[in-house]
Structure 1
Amino acid sequence: MMFAAKIVLLVLCVLLILVILLQSGRSAGLSGVITGGSNQVTNRRAKGLDPFLGKVTVVLAILFFLVTMFIAVLYHFS
C-alpha cells in the first residue's frame, strides 16, 4: 500500500511540475515553445489554455497534498 501511494505521489509530482511549466508567465516559459512563434508575431495569447492549466494545477496540488497526508498517516501507523 505504501509503495503504491509513493508511486502515485511521484506521478502527481511530475504532472504538477509539467503543468506549472506549461503555464505562460511573464517570460512565457515552455508554453511559448510548445505553441510556436505565431503568438509572438501576432501578439496574442491562447486564452483557452491558461485558465484550463490553472484549474488542472489546483486539482493536482490538492491531490498531491492529500496523497502526502495519506503517506504520512500510513507511515505513522505502521
Structure 2
Amino acid sequence: MYDILLTLMLILSVFIIIVIAMQPTKTQSASNAFLGGASQLFGKQKARGFEAVLIKTTVVCLILFFILALVMTRLF
C-alpha cells in the first residue's frame, strides 16, 4: 500500500512540475517588471481556453497532492 501511494505521489509531483512549466508568463518583457506593467492595469481579463484549463489542472493536482501527503502521514 505504501509503495502504491508513494508511486502515485511521485507521478503526481512530476505532472505538477510539467503543468506549472507549461503555463504562460504574465509579463511580456523585462521592462514591464520595472515599469509595473501599466499597460495591463485596466485590461485584466479572465483566463480563457488553454490557460484556463492549465490553471484548473494545477489547482486540482495540488489539492490531490496535499490530500495524498496527509493520507500518507496518517497511515504510515
Q: TM-score, normalised by structure 1?
A: 0.68
Letter in 1 for 2:74: V
User: Residue 61 of structure 1: CA displacement?
Assistant: 0.2
Higher relative contact order (CA 8 A, sep 6+): 2
**4+ residue runs of structure 1 moved beyond 2 angstroms?**
none
Q: Partner amino acid for 2:8? A: V
Provide the aligned C-alpha RMSD in A: 1.4
Q: Larger helix proportion, structure 1 or 2?
A: 1
- Against the structure 1 CA distance between its residues 20 and 52, is the aligned structure 2 distance closer, same or farther, given a 3 Å change threshold? same
Q: Find the counterpart in structure 2 of residue 48 from structure 1.
A: 49
- How far 1:67 sits from its partner (Å)? 0.5
5+ long unaligned stretches in structure 2: 29-47
Percent identical pairs in the alignment equals 33
Question: Offset of 1:56 from its aligned partner?
Answer: 0.2
Equivalences for 1:1-78 in 2 at 5 Å? Answer: 1-26=1-26, 47-75=48-76
User: How many residues were matched structurally?
Assistant: 57
TM-score, normalised to structure 2, is 0.69
Higher CA-based Rg = 2
**d(CA) in 1 for partners of 2:27 and 2:20?**
13
What CA distance in whole angstroms lies between the structure 1 residues aligned with 2:58 and 2:74? 24
Which runs of 5 or more structure 1 residues have no equivalent in the other structure? 29-46
